[in-house]
């Protein structure tokens, strides 16, 4: 049975600097969420290299880069939107596999995606991509590829948007859980603003969420990640917050100290990296764009990689974020069309 409502809120650990929790026994009205002061003045121990890596095969320049993650094979996987902010009728492959020197090893995906958006490399090295916008022939789907580009699984119906167990409306991101089930977030300005759970074979299991700004509701759930405790972190972008859940959708708490989240990456040590590509303007006044780094365990923020256009009105910062085994941070930049590498120098 599809559930499109917020779960009962649970009281979080709370009491920590910048940490915001929402009380809420079942049936009680949630307390108003406190606002936090912009977190802009933190050190960055990184040196920026931009652009980084060879251009995608067949491309004259980068498209909008929307995904970057290292796989268990040690290679870096990157996704972009081809040359015209859409891959429909374009010859370029949107997914590229690189070695860690930035040399392209393989590419694939031409003709399958309209608007490449969410990106994930799972525990077995399989590469997942979501297509967040339909054009009548392509879009509103989720794809699973092998590390060499073989198409293994397709979810949704090409070009068909809907609310139901076998269709999506603007799927934004995907995450594979340790047992093999997968979670898909939906909603990119329109859409269902929900989270859908599938079995490893792609069978519908459950759905939760719904549009709104209350606990367990979403307005553009743009990114999803998991910490070592099994908690699910969802970047609820248009609500300027991260919401944290159990795997079954039980709401735990929300954090606003990481600003307006477009991308989230959590490493094995529970360091959390949150890319903010849209703040400073009317969306989230006073917050600079960039990548905020902290702890997924207590919500503290320790570092800030400020974007080179952190106070422009236009969306300009990294939207996708990934981290390699050496601790280098990668930013997938949309409007400026580039792949950034941030090398840790101290």
Domain at 46-344, CATH homologous superfamily:
TolB, C-terminal domain (2.120.10.30)
Each residue of 97-124: b (16+ CB within 10 Å) or e?
Answer: bbeeeeebeebbbeebbbbbbbbbbbee
Query: Is residue 11 very low, low, confident or very high in pLDDT (cuts 50, 70, 90)?
Result: very low
Whether the pLDDT of residue 153 is over 50: the answer is yes
CA 185-262-324 angle, to 5 degrees, is: 95
pTM (predicted TM-score): 0.91
Q: pLDDT tens, 199-225? A: 999 999 999 999 999 999 999 999 999
pLDDT (mean) for 229-256 = 98
Looking at residue 60, its pLDDT comes to 84
Domain range list for the chain: 46-344
Query: What HEC string does 96-120 produce?
Result: EEECCCCCEEEEECCCCCCCEEEEE
Prior bond of 32 cis (ω within 30°): no
Q: pLDDT tens, 159-191? A: 999 999 999 999 999 999 999 999 999 999 988
Whether the pLDDT of residue 327 is over 90: the answer is yes
Looking at residue 305, its pLDDT comes to 98
Query: Is residue 33 very low, low, confident or very high in pLDDT (cuts 50, 70, 90)?
Result: low
Looking at residue 18, its pLDDT comes to 31
Q: Distance between terminal CA atoms of the chain?
A: 51
Whether the pLDDT of residue 29 is over 70: the answer is no
pLDDT (mean) for 149-157 = 98
Q: pLDDT tens, 50-76? A: 889 999 988 888 999 999 999 999 999
Query: Is residue 346 very low, low, confident or very high in pLDDT (cuts 50, 70, 90)?
Result: confident
The residue among 209, 284, 243, 217 whose CA lies nearest residue 40 is 284
Quickly count: other Cβ atoms within 10 Å of residue 10's Cβ: 18
The residue among 274, 162, 146 whose CA lies nearest residue 207 is 162
Looking at residue 35, its pLDDT comes to 80
* Structure-block tokens of residue 338: 């580039």
Whether the pLDDT of residue 120 is over 70: the answer is yes
The residue among 20, 33, 3 whose CA lies nearest residue 244 is 20
Q: pLDDT tens, 263-318? A: 999 999 999 999 999 999 899 999 999 999 999 999 999 999 999 999 999 888 89
pLDDT (mean) for 317-321 = 96
**For a pLDDT cut of 70, what percent of the chain falls above it?**
90
Looking at residue 197, its pLDDT comes to 98
Whether the pLDDT of residue 40 is over 60: the answer is yes
* Structure-block tokens of residue 336: 């400026």
Torsion 233-236-237-239 (CA) sign: negative
Whether the pLDDT of residue 84 is over 90: the answer is no
C-alpha pair distances (Å), 337 with each of 61, 121, 236: 8, 22, 23
* Structure-block tokens of residue 223: 């990114």
* Structure-block tokens of residue 109: 């995906």
**For a pLDDT cut of 90, what percent of the chain falls above it?**
85
Phi-psi region for residue 14, left (φ > 0), alpha (ψ -120 to 50) or beta?
Answer: left
Whether the pLDDT of residue 17 is over 90: the answer is no
Looking at residue 58, its pLDDT comes to 83
């Amino acid at each position: 049975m599809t559930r499109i409502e917020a779960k009962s809120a649970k009281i979080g650990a709370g009491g920590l600097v910048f940490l915001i929790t929402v009380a809420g026994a079942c049936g009680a009205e949630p307390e108003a969420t406190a606002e936090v002061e912009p977190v802009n003045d933190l050190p960055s121990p990184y040196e920026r290299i931009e652009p980084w890596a060879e251009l995608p095969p067949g491309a004259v320049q980068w498209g909008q880069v929307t995904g970057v993650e290292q796989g268990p094979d040690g290679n870096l996987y990157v996704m972009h939107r081809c040359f015209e902010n859409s891959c429909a009728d374009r010859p370029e492959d949107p997914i590229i596999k690189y070695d860690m020197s930035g040399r392209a090893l393989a590419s694939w995906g031409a003709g399958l995606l309209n608007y490449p958006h969410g990106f994930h490399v799972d525990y077995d090295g399989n590469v997942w991509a979501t297509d967040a916008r339909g054009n009548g022939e392509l879009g509103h789907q989720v794809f699973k590829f092998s590390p060499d580009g073989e198409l293994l699984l397709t979810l949704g119906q090409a070009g068909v948007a809907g609310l139901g167990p076998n269709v999506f409306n603007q799927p934004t991101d995907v995450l594979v859980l340790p047992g093999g089930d997968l979670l898909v977030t939906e909603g990119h300005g329109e859409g269902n603003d929900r989270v859908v759970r599938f079995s490893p074979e792609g069978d519908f299991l459950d759905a939760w969420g719904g549009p709104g700004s209350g606990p367990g509701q979403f307005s553009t759930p743009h990114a999803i990640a998991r910490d070592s405790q099994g908690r699910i972190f969802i970047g609820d972008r248009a609500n300027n917050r991260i919401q944290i859940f159990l795997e079954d959708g039980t709401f735990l708490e929300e954090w606003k100290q990481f600003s307006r989240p477009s991308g989230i990456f959590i490493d094995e040590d529970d360091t959390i990296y949150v890319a903010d590509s849209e703040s400073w303007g009317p969306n989230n006044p006073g917050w600079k764009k960039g990548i905020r780094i902290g702890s997924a365990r207590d919500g503290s923020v320790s570092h800030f990689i400020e974007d080179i256009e952190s106070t422009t009105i236009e969306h300009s910062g990294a939207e996708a974020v990934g981290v390699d085994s050496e601790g280098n941070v990668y930013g997938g930049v949309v409007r400026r069309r580039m792949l950034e590498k941030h090398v840790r120098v101290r």
